[in-house]
Structure 1
Amino acid sequence: MNRDAEEDLPEDVQNNVARNGLRQVAGQALQSSGDQIVNPSTVLPWLFAVLGVPPALTGALVPIRESGSMLPQALLTPLVLRAKRRTRVFTAGALIQAASVAAIAATAALADGTFAGLLILAALAVFSLGRCLCSIASKDVQGRTIPKGERGQINGLATTASGIVAITLGLGIRVYGGEDLSAGSLAWMLVGGALLWVGVAVVYAGIREPVETDTQPTPPERSDESEEGWFGTMVALLREDAPFRTFVLVRSLLLVSALSPPFIVAMSIDAGASALAGLGSFIIASGIAALIGGRIFGSQADRSSKRLMSVGAALASATIILTVVIVSLPGFSGDTWAGTLVFVASYFLLRLTHTGVRVARKTYVVDMAEGDQRTIYTAVSNSAMGLILLIVGAVSSAIAAIHVSWALLFLAAMGLLGVVAGRRLPDVSRG
């Protein structure tokens, strides 16, 4: 334990570091477990297929889930900063997510078709707003209650828990899922997810935090900026800062690895993959990718985050193109073990490369600036990406209405353009 760092915390918090740490590990583990059950890249696309939701709406799952948690950050941050207890903000966000997942479960049990799809997307949008509150508040809670040198351990344990839960859930579906995975079965699974989010709220409510001013500096520019002027600030920064503008452009083109997995799931269902072999295997693949991705790519990002972003985009695009070609071959069928292997392997590679791209771009934005400028870059790029996700998601979903393969090829082309555009980025890593 880092005693010097712990002494920087208020005295009442110092006496509760171990207790607070355990609660944050438990809370993040429960949150990661809930994320696996409401995963927009595995469970929800499968639920859409079971309910007969059009493929075009499947392509909107990831954009709504991700943009909803990023886009409102500039607006909600000043509101969160006014709260004396950030644990209450996190608890409120967790309960919002619990209610949203319960609404998705009810929709799965009672509705179908396009109407069900629209209801689930609406509930997912509300879920994302709750997640946005949790995302903003969790960093403050951790900074107020856990000393430096111990925070990474909490995040690492939560990531590991997420992978373990995904593998366990996938194995459970394969072993106990029965001959088919019905809407009712998925609805009960989602009810379990809602209860997990209630558990998150209960665990975080018990964290002891100081009521007085933050123990760590709060990004001044996010509290000082007026809510009305933030969009203007974002536009001005993108217009005047060429390196940052290039980074946002490249990050936008790297959405290939984030948006393509749900289409792989949809394609596997169209090709005849069974529920038992399909969904369980996809969830297991997601868990394995989460377990090993950080270990593989962390050191690579420190050597050259720019190169890792480009390599990740290239591998994701190549995976998509190869998958589309194989699936288009005469006689290919998704209901064979070989067909299932093609889709699961493709999904695994896309999730793994997405982990690499995510680690690389987070490392890049940290390395390219210092101090307050780094915070500004992070906030502006997240807000910009919220808008871009909605646009790219709408375009890919419209293309998917024609055929899922064309949507995948569109995303692959974006990834290849990202590789080319990435060459314009300066190398900010120490190497």
Structure 2
Amino acid sequence: MSTTARLYSVLVQRDHEAEAELPPDVRRRVPGNGLRLVGANALQSSGDQSVNASTVLPWLFAVLGVPAALTGVLVPIRESGSMLPQALLTPLVLRVRRRKWVFVTGALVQAAGVAVMAATAALGAGLTAGVVIVAALAVFALGRCLCSIASKDVHGRTVPKGERGQITGLATTAAGLVAVTLGVAIRLLGGDDLTAGQLAWLLAAGAVLWVLVAAVYATVREPDGEPRPRAAAEETGPTDGWFAQARHLLHDDKTFRHFVTVRSLLLVSALSPPFVVTLSLQSGTDSLAGLGGFVVAAGLAQLLGGRAFGRAADRSSRRLMSVGAGIAAAVALTTVAVVALPGFDGARWWGNLFFVAVYFTLTLMHTGVRVGRKTYVVDMAEGDRRTTYVAVANSVMGLVLLVVGAISSLLAVAGVSWALVFLAAMGLAGVFAGARLPEVSRR
């Protein structure tokens, strides 16, 4: 056994039956490709920490004196911008035989976007700097869109069922370690008084990480078989456009439609943490107010949940999604109930500890839901159909995020607790809907 195979066997609990079903050339390359995917995904997740639209960029905007109105568009542009264009770009991706080059292109686009943000942080200020950074974030999101379309296909063609979730989990764990280190460094070096120059260096490091992502991913060895490049007529048919085909897919493919519906309902773990932070500040606590604190909490959740959730996803990604969303919904409702108690005081040490525990738990559950849904969509289809599934699901989610985000924001005007109750209700509905999803995992 080679050194690469031994290392892969240490990190991943291998499914030899699943590997035996692969073509010989694919089976031989599983350890090497698996380690490359772990490395590239870990670097990618680490780069995300440097350009986090929920923590780093809002903090940068405050330092640069950017109007608060622009801060509100950061998360929608980052999330929806990486999802909505996927339906439009998928026909172009399907024409490319080696899908890894689509991912490499997307990584380099993201590196360029982050580099522009770093330069703006170092040299700009005010409204102009905010507009440039938002535009660069839109470019970054477009690059992430390309990576998202291509990565699931490459992952599915190079790693067998029973090991895919562990690859995602290992990358998440590595990114969590980076996030904790970064958060501690921020607290020690800058605390709550980080300068624009320090944040510019942080963004520059992120740009370098994205270049490394491209370099590592370029070494992945895809199998020589399908997918083959496809002409436009093959992609869409002579009369229907690709969007019509996507609509037909959602209408005719019951399993896929069910998955998209469940995924739409499981947003409680993704959208609740910012409202918990707001509720904590309204209650008088300041333990989560520092940028370093946010990054450390998110990093710990990834660090502790990545590997465990990766193995759980390989056993049953469907169950992992449902359990994660159910716990997140219960935590959100508990938070609302506790804060409503007459004697609750967020300024006390136990109030501080309560909000820290809530924020950490929600982020941990989101890690599980995220690993679960990624593994599910990779396992539920093969070849170009997997690529189409990913693109259509993410495009729909881009729209759903905008709608659910708008509703929860409007409810938050009446009270942050109402937004949390709304998201929790969606999550509980998703738990029951997810229980009816078919099992697609290896074991």
Shorter-chain TM-score bucket reads: 0.7 to 0.9
Q: Does 1:218 align with 2:230?
A: no
- Equivalent residues in 2 for 1:356-395 (5 A)? 356-365=368-377, 376-395=388-407
Q: Tell me, in whole angstroms, the C-alpha distance in 2 between the residues paired with 1:57 and 1:24.
A: 35
- Equivalent residues in 2 for 1:285-324 (5 A)? 285-298=297-310, 300-301=312-313, 305-324=317-336
State the match for 1:66 in structure 2. 79
Pair 1:80–1:420, CA change in 2 (3 A): closer
Contact 2:121 2:196 in 1 (8 A): yes
Q: Does 1:180 align with 2:193?
A: yes
1:215 Cα shift? 1.5
Contact 1:68 1:128 in 2 (8 A): yes
Q: Tell me, in whole angstroms, the C-alpha distance in 2 between the residues paired with 1:91 and 1:365.
A: 21
Contact 1:33 1:166 in 2 (8 A): yes
Q: Provide, for residues 174-211 of structure 1, a one-character-per-residue CA deviation record: whole Å limited to 9, x for no partner.
A: 32233534555434322322232234345556x3868x
Correspondent of 1:8 among 25, 33, 40: 25
Contact 2:97 2:228 in 1 (8 A): no
Contact 1:56 1:398 in 2 (8 A): no
Pair 1:417–1:23, CA change in 2 (3 A): closer
1:142 Cα shift? 6.4
- Equivalent residues in 2 for 1:269-348 (5 A)? 269=281, 274=286, 278-298=290-310, 300-301=312-313, 305-327=317-339, 337-348=349-360
Greater Cα shift, 225-234 or 94-103? 225-234
Q: Tell me, in whole angstroms, the C-alpha distance in 1 between the residues paired with 2:71 and 2:169.
A: 31
% identical equivalent positions: 63
- Equivalent residues in 2 for 1:30-429 (5 A)? 30-47=43-60, 61-83=74-96, 88-105=101-118, 108=121, 110-112=124-126, 120-138=133-151, 152=164, 155=168, 157-178=170-191, 180-204=193-217, 207=219, 215-218=224-227, 224-226=234-236, 229-269=241-281, 274=286, 278-298=290-310, 300-301=312-313, 305-327=317-339, 337-365=349-377, 376-400=388-412, 403-422=415-434, 425-428=436-439
Residue aligned with 1:70, SS:
coil
* Counterpart AA for 1:198: V
Pair 1:95–1:242, CA change in 2 (3 A): closer
State the match for 2:8 in structure 1. none
Contact 1:59 1:394 in 2 (8 A): no
Contact 1:54 1:401 in 2 (8 A): no
Q: Tell me, in whole angstroms, the C-alpha distance in 2 between the residues paired with 1:158 and 1:299.
A: 13
Pair 1:188–1:149, CA change in 2 (3 A): same
1:254 Cα shift? 0.8
Aligned length: 420
Contact 2:156 2:382 in 1 (8 A): no
Pair 1:334–1:70, CA change in 2 (3 A): same
Pair 1:182–1:28, CA change in 2 (3 A): same
Greater Cα shift, 246-255 or 119-128? 119-128
Pair 1:275–1:305, CA change in 2 (3 A): closer
Contact 1:281 1:344 in 2 (8 A): no
Gaps of 5+ in 1: none
Contact 1:59 1:400 in 2 (8 A): no
Contact 2:192 2:291 in 1 (8 A): no
Contact 2:97 2:227 in 1 (8 A): no
* Counterpart AA for 1:357: V
Residue aligned with 1:186, SS:
helix
Gaps of 5+ in 2: 6-15
1:259 Cα shift? 1.8
* Counterpart AA for 1:174: R
Residue aligned with 2:236, SS:
coil
1:84 Cα shift? 6.5
Contact 1:45 1:265 in 2 (8 A): no
1:272 Cα shift? 5.7
Q: Tell me, in whole angstroms, the C-alpha distance in 1 between the residues paired with 2:159 and 2:437.
A: 34
Pair 1:174–1:327, CA change in 2 (3 A): farther
Q: Tell me, in whole angstroms, the C-alpha distance in 2 between the residues paired with 1:272 and 1:44.
A: 24
* Counterpart AA for 1:282: F
Q: Tell me, in whole angstroms, the C-alpha distance in 1 between the residues paired with 2:108 and 2:350.
A: 42
